Structure 1
Amino acid sequence: MIQNSPAGILPAQSIDALLETGAVTSATAFDADQVQPASLDLRLGARVWRVRASFLPGRGRTVAERMAAVAMHELDLTRGAVLERGCVYIAELQERLKLPAGVSARANPKSSTGRVDVFVRLLTDNGIAFDDVVEGYEGPAFIEIAPQTFSVLVRTGTRLNQLRLKRGEPAKLSIRSVGVDLSNGVAGFRARRHAGVIDLDHVDGHDPRDYWEALKPYHGQLLLDPGEFYILASKEPIEIPVMEAAEMTPIDPSVGEFRVHYAGFFDPGFGTEEARGQGSKAVLEVRSHETPFLLEDGQTVARLVYEPLTERPSLLYGDRGSHYQRQGLKLSKHFKPWI
């Protein structure tokens, strides 16, 4: 089925087929909800290392070989471990890859990971770029974890990133600009510094006021302070057709010195009437760089790139439940509703 499919993003049933044929394996059984409409959640393994610097393995070198020179100490994730903000870690993942010819992959943080300002990137042996997995790759997978604002508690099985598998080089179907909504009474949230630890497996387990400050716009504008982290929402509802998937990409730096959206994957069915999600907005994770930046209502801050699926997915976004279908301005699932 996969060999004869056209170029495109692989949907849930094709990912299931890859698991069955051993293209993705794990020492433990896969979770029932690990396969998403157009991606596969990846799970932390048993060990994580605090490292003194980020790195790429480069051609001809493994992650383990490079890490030997930068590792500071090892933490046991089977007992749970707190990863401190401002530090960099490398963790092993439970999943191992043996991709067939013609199939490559790209990783991205899960939505809930990006919304708590945890920067994560996938590493593979011989890799010359973060998050990209070359066609036919066989070997282990690791994840770089760099909490930026909050220290976080993780453990074996915690899911921080996801893998989107593709056949060939899918065509870019369309590119859509995404503006920011600064028209409401509460336009966004700014992260509080020196807040407590966030347990990344505890849903609805944290009081948002301990971690966030609600922001009100002034005349449709919001001043971004350098180094601060913000949660904002898109001006327009977002819709991902059921035969497409999308990735949110940063705008050209010449338009504004800030980064938007660490977590860039949007699955088929997001925001659609068919998947009962009409009216959903994109949540934007925003960090200003170097200088203060005055953001205006409706200003373009990112772009959505749409790509085709190889076939209609057996699963749409929200079919297995979602914290973010039909969302407006919304914090991550770890927080109780803002009242």
Structure 2
Amino acid sequence: MAEGVLPAQAIRALAASGAIAADPPILPAQIQPASIDLRLGTVAYRVRASFLAGQGRRVADRIAEFGMHEIDLTRGAVLEKGCVYVVPLMEHLALPGDLTAVANAKSSTGRLDLLTRTITDGGVEFDRIPAGYTGPLYAEICPRSFSVLVRPGMRLNQMRFRRGHAVLDDAALAALHARVGLVDGPAVISDGLGFSVDLRPRAGLMGYRAKPHAGMIDLDRIGAYDPADFWEELQARDGHLILDPGAFYILVSQEAVTIPPDHAAEMAPYLAMVGEFRVHYAGFFDPGFGHAAAGGAGSRGVLEVRCHEAPFVLEHGQVVGRLVYERMAAVPDTLYGAGIASNYQGQGLKLSKHFRP
């Protein structure tokens, strides 16, 4: 197969070959157009701090070093806001030597301010798995705004596989935009495709801020919660928003975004020099997102924003992040939004699927 991000059909082949294995076996619903969803196992470990295993070290040994107590997830368990947990995943890898992998939080996970990262034995980076890795996978989970109820089999993060170099340079990205129109306006291209924040929406609602003392969210309950119990609505006024340190916001991009079927994208942070904030925990955009033929015309990027050390004025139209596009090794046999119950195709400003519209 050619260089690039592996499509769904190639991920199924990896599972059939044992390069991705799981107990219980992998479910068809886990396979997305360019990634596989990873499932929580039956136990969680409350740990004193976030950690990486480090070269030559096992995650299990670090859990023994930093663990505080073990939690049985089989009847459901609450992961409390502000605490750090490590959960062994049901999946494990035996990657061939020409494949690397990268993980990221799923969209609904990020929109709940649920910091979820993948760690591995010998790992020196979060969410990055080197070629040829053989071993278990773990999710580090830190609820930031809301405590959550979890059970085995829940899918909070996802993984992509890549052969060779797939990232488009600026010249290739400009050519792709000229061919298919990646955004519905001028393209800001510099180490990826820049996107800006919309703080003057026509409907008046420009975003949401998480309430500081809200209740618990059961991650299995879809469309069950009243947004007013968890979120403060932010009304558009004068085209700017003062971000409060430590607060979490859901905002939306000005641009409608398109990911053509033969490409995938990942949302990456913008330069730290532009302000005291971070945008987006959940970074994967699948082939077909925003693609008109897959029902996605007009899809915009939802921005998960957390302010850091000092209050910061965010201005309407300010560039706050970038999409890094990658070539697919082949077009997936199923596109985002095309018959796979995708939750966010055609989206504008939208909370996670757990909240009532």
Given the two structures, how large is their TM-score scaled by the length of structure 1? 0.97
2:137 is the alignment partner of 1:122: no
2:327 is the alignment partner of 1:308: yes
The residue aligned with 2:312 is 293
2:337 is the alignment partner of 1:318: yes
AA aligned opposite 1:334: H
2:166 is the alignment partner of 1:170: yes
Cα distance in 1 for residues equivalent to 2:101 and 2:343 = 25
Matches within 5 A, 1:110-149: 110-149=106-145
Give the count of matched residue pairs: 333
How far the C-alpha of 1:217 sits from its partner, in A, is 2.4
AA aligned opposite 2:346: R
Three-state SS of the structure 1 residue aligned to 2:27 is coil
Stretches of structure 1 lacking an aligned partner (at least 5 in a row) = none
Matches within 5 A, 1:158-307: 158-173=154-169, 174=173, 175-184=192-201, 185-307=204-326
Runs of 4+ in 1 over 4 A off after TM superposition: none
The residue aligned with 2:181 is none
Deviation track 1:117-153 (CA, whole Å, cap 9, x = no partner) reads: 0001101001111100110110000010000010001
How far the C-alpha of 1:291 sits from its partner, in A, is 0.9
Cα distance in 1 for residues equivalent to 2:61 and 2:25 = 28
Cα distance in 1 for residues equivalent to 2:207 and 2:64 = 42
How far the C-alpha of 1:218 sits from its partner, in A, is 2.4
The residue aligned with 1:329 is 349
AA aligned opposite 1:212: W
Cα distance in 2 for residues equivalent to 1:57 and 1:32 = 31
Matches within 5 A, 1:31-46: 31-46=27-42
Cα distance in 1 for residues equivalent to 2:311 and 2:279 = 15
Cα distance in 2 for residues equivalent to 1:192 and 1:132 = 32
How far the C-alpha of 1:193 sits from its partner, in A, is 1.0
Please give the root-mean-square deviation of Cα atoms over the aligned residues, in Å.
0.8
Cα distance in 2 for residues equivalent to 1:7 and 1:205 = 42
How far the C-alpha of 1:206 sits from its partner, in A, is 0.9
Three-state SS of the structure 2 residue aligned to 1:223 is strand
Three-state SS of the structure 1 residue aligned to 2:9 is helix
The residue aligned with 1:104 is 100
Stretches of structure 2 lacking an aligned partner (at least 5 in a row) = 174-191
Cα distance in 2 for residues equivalent to 1:241 and 1:43 = 28
The answer to whether the 8 A contact 2:167-2:324 is kept is: no
Three-state SS of the structure 2 residue aligned to 1:16 is helix
The answer to whether the 8 A contact 2:108-2:352 is kept is: yes
How far the C-alpha of 1:200 sits from its partner, in A, is 1.1
Deviation track 1:78-102 (CA, whole Å, cap 9, x = no partner) reads: 1111000000000010001011120
